[in-house]
Amino acid sequence: MKKKDCNIMYVILVLFFCVPFLSHGQAKTITGTIVSAGDNLPLPGATIIVKGTSSGSTTDFDGNYAIQAKTGDVLVISYVGYAASEVKVASEMVINVSLNQDVALLDEVVITGYGKQTRATLTTSVSKLDTKILETSTRSNVATALQGTIAGLRVTNTTGQPGSTPQIVLRGGTNFDGTGAPLILVDGIPSSFYALNSDDIESIEVLKDAAATAIYGARSANGVILITTKTGKTGKSSINYKYKFSTNNERNDQQYVNAADFINYNRQGIAWYREAINNSGSFSAFLDGANGMGTGGNATNSPFTTQLLSPSNQYLLNQPGWSSMPDILNSAQSILFYDNPDVGDWIYQNSESKDHYLSFDGGNENGSYYLGLGMLDNDGLILGSGFKRYSGKFSGSYKIKDNIRVNSNILYSHSNLSRSPLGDDATVFRRFQGQPPTSRTYDNNPDGTWSDVYAVGQNQGFGNPLYYQDKFVRNNLEQRLSASVGIDWELIENLTLSVKGSHFAVNNHDENFDKAYRTGSTTGPLNTARLASVALDRTLRNQLTGTLNYIKSFGNHNFNALIGAEYFKDNLFRTSAGTRNSPTDLIETLNAGAEANGIPYSFETEYVISSAFGRLLYDYNNKYLFGFTFRNDGSSRLGNNKFDFFPGVSLGWNVHNEESFQNSSLSKTISKIKPRLSYGVNGNQDVLSNYGVYGSYGSQGVYNGQTGYANSSLATLDLLWEKATTLNAGLDISFFNDRLSIITDVYSRDIKNKLANLTLPYYTGFSSILTNNGTIRNKGFEMQINGDIIRNDDFTWNVGATITSNKNYVVKLPENANDLNRQAGQLIWNSKTGAQEWVGGLQEGQRVGNDLVIAYEQDRIYKDQADADADSGIQDIFLPGTDKFKHFAGDVKWVDQNGDGVINSLDRKVIGRTTPDFLGGFTTNVTYKNFNLFVKTDFATGHLVWNHARNKSYGNTQGNLNQPSEVLDSWTPTNTDTNWPRFVFVNGTKNVWRGDEGDSYASSSSLLNAGNSQFWEKGDYLALREVTLSYNVPTEYFNDVIKRLSIYVTGTNLHYFKSVSGDTPEIGGLQFGAFPVPKTFTVGLNVTF
Amino acid sequence: MKKYIYILIAAIAFTACESELDLTSPSELTAAGFWNTETGARTAQTGMYANLRSSASNLWLLGEMRSDIWGGRTYESANNEGLIRSDINIANAPFGGWADIYTRIHRINDFLKNVPNITFVKETDKNHLMGQAYGLRALYYYTLLKTWGNVPIILDPLGKVDPATLSKERAPQAEVMTQIKADLTASLAAFGTDNSFYEGTRIYWSKAATLALKGDVYIWSGNLLGGGTADFTEAKTALQQIAALDVSLAPSIANLWGVANENNKEFIFAIQYKQDEAENFYNNLTGRSTEINPQFNNTGASMSSFVIGGANRYGPSEKTLLLLDDNNDSRKNASFIYLYKDNAGYPTYNEPKYFGAIFNKFLGVVKGTVRVFENDVPIYRYADVVLMIAEAKNLLNEDPSGEINQIRQRAYGANYVPATHAYVNGSKTANANAILDERYKEFIGEGKRWWDLRRAGNSFVIDNVSFLNAGDEYKLLLPITNDMIGRNPLLVQTTGYTN
């Protein structure tokens, strides 16, 4: 797709149509070539103007120009995307100029959707990614580059799984739970970041305020991310090759206890549990069965090595790693065990990645082309995980007539996403990594030495990863194709018609096969069900877009008008089927299955959006800027109110272009200053399902051979469009000859008629109904700073920063019987007002409470039984025993917030939120001669994290889970001065959390609302995300064969400055076991022929 | 030139015309047209049973978990210990959201509202369906009443939602009971003289099921809600009609359980389970091969080849183990597989060597190397009816021993010795306890025991459940969660609960 280049058009218009061509006497003809500094490629279409006159010229295809000028005139040479250069004409007849790529923030060109603008004339809030970030790190998903680099965007890497897309939320999201995915357009086609090759990308822009996004109307409330891929440049052809090699390394902060401690703490924990619950037989299988701390292991192949020491097994003590100790519960017997300290590392594999990229590009005045080929092979850090991608890209354009240019763009990728066959991230990082240190890796030979046969462990969900790693085959193949054909036709002067048809297809193919596997031990039962299944998902998106663009200036009045229409259809089709009882492990496909497993399945769903849109940009002499955009969208997802109108209007004032300003002393400091103001309306249809407004009778499953249906949602034909109106005020300012630039925005976004689930009384039969549920408001500010601290020929030092802050408020809710029309929420005691109070949930006039953390406050730990008994007047309704007044040494003394002598749900306290207060990033770039050092960091502060992989281990509600090293600090009769409660089996005395292990913000007993404050951690972090040192090899060595050669080393995710116990502080709130992003070291090379 | 522009714009605009936005779903049913045909009614009928099946584990927990059956040794973390110990307060109030029962009720209300307007090929089919739906609604409301006492009565499907008028009070128990009785009457009226089992199978509700439920309900209302003799008589009459409806006791316990014996004449209404459709939840009363395979059963045979892949969340209490510990009673081994740590063989319960138990009634079938939990699970079977007749008789001061002995005789089979095993009519309380004990042994794992104790009267609950003491009567009903009140401010907390 070739976007209209407004500025070139503007300049051409100025030159050829609006201003009479005047020439002065004594002029001579000056000729020369304009090239791009760095690569020395000619710049066709650059403008040369004699300063102070309207006399000018443009360069031809080879960058050559000719112009009439007098000695003493000043030539102003400019080209979009490059810093303008001024040259004084002396006696010479040939003036060659090389232009530097313009890095000045406030002059950059930004893509705005159906067009582009320079930031100088932009009146809306748009951020552009500095694509330098894309050049060096190995990225299996390009969206990771956005973390901390775009003000206003919260990008959370939720997993280290290669290929996966981070969670992206703009300005706090428009949903009550703080989510809402931006519309992502790749060359104008709704798409995603998945499987995109970062080397194919020319630019990424984020449209933020409603006036900018209104052109995308009904899908734009959560912002719009525009990804533009590369196209051929007019000029010499070139060949570029890039290679990156990386090694990925674990960032393993979770420390576990050793086998002896594991056995002692757990056996003691069971005894404490029995005492607390007054049941002396509880969990006996964990004491004497084949469990991690139980003595039911055997000498050869049990999952765990723990067993009672006896004459028949004491030979094992001669083997390294085996030892024995007295049973902490019964000193008359000794426990024999093996300490397997590396057991948690079995989930890891050696991990490398290789990334090749080859491109060809070039063009002349008639046409241009770009070809890119990529191959990425990225092993994941955990067993069996990885991502492989082959990508191909073609784009070309050709001028078939003087006023008609056709273009085509094709992006193809072929990828294999391999997830861990052991299970999801939480299973791998909590269960498999948290295996007891008494686990067996290999079976023992009869003489006590290790065999080379992998022990099985307990079972496939919680066993020896080395045994199970090849048992579950999970193959994925995804093909993505986006292809478009377009025509740009200059119908009459200044008026261009563009029509583009595009097609986007995703074919995702998953094949699963379970080989025969054992559970329990190598003599345990062999499961030969050999389930095989296949699933195919197909997405088809077709889009037809037509625009008419009119660009003209009348004197100082500059107009750029666009109208367009668009039709979009999204169709999803999925099928799946499975078999069981294949006779052999050798055939993984369904054809060997003996019978169907489950019911074969296919499903289709689609939606359509049809739209008309337009934009008018006007400026007066580049001083007073005005923009108006609109979109009229209709969506099949709504019932009686399918269409709505989404306008946006914006104003800007280039104060620095005022003569009075230029004459003032301020202009010496402030080089540019532009206040902006915008207001617009956006829609959001993501919250709607394709046919949900018609009510649904959903499948209830098969009963006696027939499928049953029942009313599963009510028809809501009268739903209105959710409308987000954003008032945005911005200031673009630069100081000291553009060496320091700042872009700031403050905004208030009201999401009116918010389409959200209204919680219903349960007697209705529904938990909630989708409705136009009131108004919420995002308020925040964001800032982007860029400074050139040193700017010399040989030495430059640049720093950049982004910072973002956002808060969500509830403005209005539908009338109901509650105070403040509250929906959901938690009832607690407010010690300040001395009254009960509902917090959280949704309440008019308050912040959205769904990210609130409400916890029981730990006062201290009962030092000894006398200390505990002193509280025998306090009733703790969460205690497991029938006597709720009986407290034990080592348990938590809770703060009785209301002082009523009863610890119950009223005694909770709001301790924070799961979303950060501030986030952003810092970058710095130092260039010395041919060396360049680039450092990128990102940070977030103010969010709380519940690391459930750790806390569940501390509570040990899994049974066979190793304990975090904090348990070593826990209360014991000999360690009484501590903040860590005693370790009671299965969180028996409710020290770690007091409810269940749920994750619902609506539930009063979920971890979010019923944890122990002591186990919540501050998520504040600063990540040293990337450090790259590169060297441009001087090209004079290569006799023009090589135009550019750079080599570099990069370290990624090198260090986190954080206090959280887990490895992923980015994820606020509950973490049930996250796959941390690896620490990666890359060497790379980039060569251009 | 301008002409072409307009044509092109018109062409683009045309492709985007509004009619393109009216889509019909290829794979999903919407409200439009669903209730227009008999086919719709039949898919909705299937939906009601699929939903009931989804509620089955809740019905089981509600009906049994607070009794004295469970709470014994497990070899994995036990579930629902709070229920077992009656450790219940507002903060941990179980079954928040009324155990999802109102979702089922909404759908039955939807069914009852729309099906009468549909023309069936055979009106008798429609009547049978209506009889089923009324019967199921009565079952749900009865469960609500037994669990929470006062509950909202909702008889129409939810239509338009007006947040301002959504809040609704709990109706008094008496009104709820009146409604249940009305539904029973409506169900019997709809069945009329149609005594058949739908499609000849007992996995659908039937007239016999309504009569069994009616007996159950009337004993409850007679004993707990002041209905007295009139209700007991009504109950007895209803229950005694069932024997004529092709329902009878299976000749032996061996003929009763197991997938091969499904749909036997003792089953009045059972929830169906089948591989690839749904499997029952009793896999949670088994265990993992890791723990089970190294053990031995009570005859000393190794469990090493026992195919299992479940969980052990519930263990029989010692009381249960001892009560059942009679090798002449075929229910002992039909109820549990006893696991011991060595191969000595333990004909009677032996605590130091006892490892745990596998619930044996609904163990499914082994297919290849996988066990499939596809036993149908009865809600009412004839043994239940026989013993409820005994209850009604006892409450009417009649001799219940005939019914009790009918059940004992079947259980002991060839070992039955009237002199030692037969029950002889005693005092009303003795009879009540004998019936309770018989039901205890007969219905382990079938979701009955807590209701049985409750139906017998509060003192029987307190006497049998060691975690409840005099003064704890309020705990027989469950509290509601603050979340439920938050959504519905007119709800009042169950009497007695302050924390």
Q: What is the pLDDT of residues A964-977, one digit of tens each?
A: 999 999 999 999 99
User: CB-based contact (8 Å) between A281 and chain B?
Assistant: yes
Comparing C-alpha atoms, which of A338, A304, A336 is closest to residue A464? Answer: A304
Chain B 171-200, residues with CB within 8 Å of chain A CB atoms: 199
Query: What mean pLDDT value characterizes chain B?
Result: 94
Residues B186-241: tens digit of each pLDDT:
999 999 999 999 999 999 999 999 999 999 999 999 999 999 999 999 999 999 99
Backbone dihedral region of A279: left (phi > 0), alpha (psi from -120 to 50 degrees) or beta?
Answer: beta
User: CB-based contact (8 Å) between A635 and chain B?
Assistant: yes
Q: For chain B, what percentages of helix, strand and coil (3-state, to nearest 5) are there? A: 50, 10, 40
Q: In the predicted model, is pLDDT for residue B374 greater than 90? A: yes
What is residue B4's predicted lDDT score, i.e. its pLDDT? 56
User: CB-based contact (8 Å) between B106 and chain A?
Assistant: yes
- End-to-end distance of chain A based on CA atoms, in angstroms? 26
Q: Is B57 exposed, middle or buried (0-12, 13-18, 19+ CB in 10 A)?
A: middle
- Note whether B74 contacts A285, CB cutoff 8 Å: yes
Chain B 414-453, residues with CB within 8 Å of chain A CB atoms: none
C-alpha–C-alpha distance, residues B407 and B382, integer Å: 10
What is residue B458's predicted lDDT score, i.e. its pLDDT? 96
User: CB-based contact (8 Å) between A885 and chain B?
Assistant: no
Using an 8 Å Cβ cutoff, are B339 and B308 in contact? no
- Note whether B21 contacts A815, CB cutoff 8 Å: no
Of B44, B151, B499, nearest to A904 by CB-CB distance is: B499
B495: its two tokens: 């009497």
Query: What mean pLDDT value characterizes chain A?
Result: 90
C-alpha–C-alpha distance, residues B140 and A666, integer Å: 79
Q: How many CB atoms lie within 10 A of CB A666?
A: 12
CA dihedral A148, A154, A157, A163 (to 10 degrees): -90
DSSP symbols for B311-332: -B---B-HHHHHHT--TT-THH
Q: Which residues contact A30 (CB under 8 A, 6 or more apart)?
A: A66, A67, A68, A69, A75, A89, A92, A93, A94, A95
- In this prediction, residue A9 has a pLDDT band, given cuts at 50, 70 and 90, of very low
Q: Which residue of A has its CA nearest to B95?
A: A762
Buried b (16+ CB within 10 A) or exposed e, B90-126: bbbbbbbbbbbbbbbbbbbbbbbebbeebebeeeebb
Residue A429 one-letter amino acid: F
Q: Which residues of A touch B22 (CB under 8 A)?
A: 636
Smallest CA–CA distance, residue B466 to chain A, in Å, is 11
Residues A691-702: tens digit of each pLDDT:
999 999 999 999
- In this prediction, residue A16 has a pLDDT band, given cuts at 50, 70 and 90, of very low
Residues A307-362: tens digit of each pLDDT:
999 999 999 999 999 999 999 999 999 999 999 999 999 999 999 999 999 999 98
Any bridge partners for residue A550, and if so which? A495, A561
C-alpha–C-alpha distance, residues B151 and B478, integer Å: 11
Q: Which long-range contacts (CB under 8 A, 24 or more apart) does A486-490 make?
A: A486/A1, A486/A2, A486/A406, A486/A407, A486/A408, A487/A404, A487/A405, A487/A406, A487/A407, A488/A2, A488/A4, A488/A404, A488/A405, A488/A406, A488/A407, A489/A403, A489/A404, A489/A405, A490/A403, A490/A404
DSSP letter at B129 equals H
Q: Best mutation site among A462, A762, A856 for testing chain B: the one with the most B CBs within 10 Å?
A: A762
Q: Which residue of B has its CA nearest to A547?
A: B9
Portion of chain A with pLDDT greater than 70, in percent: 96
| CA angle at A34 for the pair A31 and A39, rounded to the nearest 5° | 150
C-alpha–C-alpha distance, residues B215 and A621, integer Å: 91
Give the number of residues written for chain B.
499
DSSP letter at A445 equals P
User: CB-based contact (8 Å) between B75 and chain A?
Assistant: yes
- Note whether B21 contacts A642, CB cutoff 8 Å: yes
User: CB-based contact (8 Å) between A491 and chain B?
Assistant: yes
Q: In the predicted model, is pLDDT for residue B91 greater than 90? A: no
Strands A670-683 and A643-653: antiparallel
Q: Which residue of A has its CA nearest to B276?
A: A598
CA distances from B132 to A1040, B185, B320 (A): 88, 12, 35
Q: Which residues of A touch B104 (CB under 8 A)?
A: 765
- Note whether B15 contacts A610, CB cutoff 8 Å: yes
Comparing C-alpha atoms, which of A1051, A1070, A1050 is closest to residue A1062? Answer: A1070
DSSP symbols for A253-265: ---B--HHHHHHH
Buried b (16+ CB within 10 A) or exposed e, B394-411: bbeebebbebbbbbbebb
A609: its two tokens: 């959006």
User: CB-based contact (8 Å) between B19 and chain A?
Assistant: no
Q: Which residues of B touch A1004 (CB under 8 A)?
A: 91, 481-483
Any bridge partners for residue A931, and if so which? A928, A1031
Between chain A and chain B, how many beta carbons pairs sit less than 8 Å apart? 326
Q: Which residues contact A37 (CB under 8 A, 6 or more apart)?
A: A98, A99, A100, A101
Using an 8 Å Cβ cutoff, are A615 and A628 in contact? yes
Residues A523-576: tens digit of each pLDDT:
888 999 999 999 999 999 999 999 999 998 888 899 999 999 999 999 999 999
- Note whether A606 contacts B23, CB cutoff 8 Å: yes
- In this prediction, residue A416 has a pLDDT band, given cuts at 50, 70 and 90, of very high
Chain B 280-319, residues with CB within 8 Å of chain A CB atoms: 288-291, 293-294, 304-305, 307, 309
Q: Which residues of B touch A817 (CB under 8 A)?
A: 164, 166-167, 489-490
Q: In the predicted model, is pLDDT for residue A589 greater than 60? A: yes
Backbone dihedral region of A942: left (phi > 0), alpha (psi from -120 to 50 degrees) or beta?
Answer: left
Strands A64-69 and A126-128: unpaired
Q: Which residues of B touch A527 (CB under 8 A)?
A: 309, 369-370
CA dihedral A632, A637, A639, A643 (to 10 degrees): 0
- Note whether B4 contacts A491, CB cutoff 8 Å: yes
Residue A975 one-letter amino acid: N
C-alpha–C-alpha distance, residues B173 and B192, integer Å: 28
* ipTM value: 0.93
Q: What is the average pLDDT across A927-956?
A: 94
Comparing C-alpha atoms, which of B6, B11, B127, B146 is closest to residue B67? Answer: B146
A323: its two tokens: 């030892």
- In this prediction, residue A21 has a pLDDT band, given cuts at 50, 70 and 90, of very low
Residue A613 CA, chain-centre distance (Å), reads 30
Give the number of residues written for chain A.
1089
Q: Is A21 exposed, middle or buried (0-12, 13-18, 19+ CB in 10 A)?
A: exposed
What is the H or E stretch that residue B57 is in? helix B38-64
